[in-house]
Amino acid sequence: MRIQALSARVAFNGRGDPGIEAELSAGGEVGRALSPSGASRGIHEAAPFSPGGPDETARLVSTYKRRVIGEDAADLRGLASTIKKIDGTPNYSRIGGSAAYSISLAAAVAASSARGVLPCRLIDPRCNSLPYPLGNVIGGGKHAGEKSPSIQEVLVAPLGARSVREAIQLNFDVHSRVGRELSSRLPYPVGRGDEGGWCPGLTDEEAIQLASEAAREVADKSGRKIRVGVDFAAGSLYNPKDGRYWYRASGKSVDREGQLSYVAELCDRFDLFYVEDPLQEEDFDGFADLTSSLRGKRLVVGDDLYTTNLERLEEGARRKSTSGVIVKVNQVGTLGEAQEFSSSSKKGGQTLIASHRSGDNEDPHLADIAIGFGCALMKCGIVGAERTAKLNALLMRAEKLDRARMAKVD
């Protein structure tokens, strides 16, 4: 399963942002992968490109590919170690995290094809559970315009669905119902943001209320439980100069204690099951206070808090900061590093969520990452080709993994 050839090019995602696409052959098969990009990026994420930008990042691959050729494409952590050594920096600032990502994913695709197994089975031959899709129905923050909600995402998850297909359909139904309600309520056409969520001129609470009502209506009609969550992306709300969180849609400004109270209030008022990045990314203790106060009734999830970084995960575990963790492979660089992070998360009792990025592409690999890592949720949007590519891949994997069952989400 040795890598026989490697090349890279600049290609583009659904937002028109450049990424690095790697093409790699191993075991007589070819694997390709294109890196995604995020609009809301944690400060501890891997640098996406080398100092010269995307073109230099792609060109550099030809200068070090001889050190990758000959590596075992199926050895995810071994390949990750090699790529990390080639770069030689803590955050891929020399060769670019986009290259590290695409090379490691392309290797997994080629190796799984050569072995005749699904990529998720290459990641974990024993994987046997399927994640629920967690979808963005209303978008705001950095994913939408100035008049949209301040919080980044209002999300739904059909936790009562009995199959992947049913779960996908229920999320579609909630998204459609929200769209119809907005069309009847607002005097102007409502567009969609980077991830396909509606971007109306509503306050944060109005947006959550609307999504909650739509989820309840679809749940009542289908007889299936559908839960609502929120990604605050609080780092984009936070002003480090005065230590306050500012909600542009309502004009609300709160300090740290006010933010903790506000998040808890929204959890109770709308029965939120999931709150992601409710505080700025250095406030481990604030996360811990919220997790403790909610007493396990909600998933308090760290994304920018951790950025798929093992050292930060260990710090969060020491302080008992969260009950859920986001894994995004391109935050850390390689698939092997993300696998190590995910394994440690699950050993620590965290609920694991595999996530797309706002600037994503039609690669289906997130489905294999979510299944292979044993994630309970796959955050992947609801509509748009970049999103449905992941959902359709999840559907196909579910059909082939005929003994797999939907994950348990507390």
Q: Which residues are catalytic?
A: 195, 328
- Phi/psi at 286 (nearest 5 deg)? -65, -45
Comparing C-alpha atoms, which of 123, 133, 132 is closest to residue 372?
A: 123
d(CA 178, CA 98): 35
Q: What does the chain come to in residues?
A: 410
Q: How many CB atoms lie within 10 A of CB 283?
A: 20
Q: What is the DSSP string of 54-71?
A: HHHHHHHHHHHHHHHTTS
Q: Are strands 351-355 and 377-379 parallel, antiparallel or unpaired?
A: parallel
Q: How many CB atoms lie within 10 A of CB 146?
A: 8
3-class DSSP state for residue 313? helix
273 in Cβ contact with 307 (< 8 Å): no
What is each CA distance from 232 to 85, 178, 278, 327, in whole angstroms?
36, 20, 5, 17
The phi-psi region of residue 368 (left if phi > 0; otherwise alpha if psi is between -120 and 50; otherwise beta) is alpha
d(CA 357, CA 364): 13
Written as six digits, the tokens of 241 are: 């100069």
Instruction: Tell me which residue has tokens 């006010």.
Output: 258
Written as six digits, the tokens of 54 are: 């995307």
Dihedral Cα 52, 308, 310, 34, nearest 10 deg: -50
Written as six digits, the tokens of 171 are: 């999320």
d(CA 281, CA 300): 13
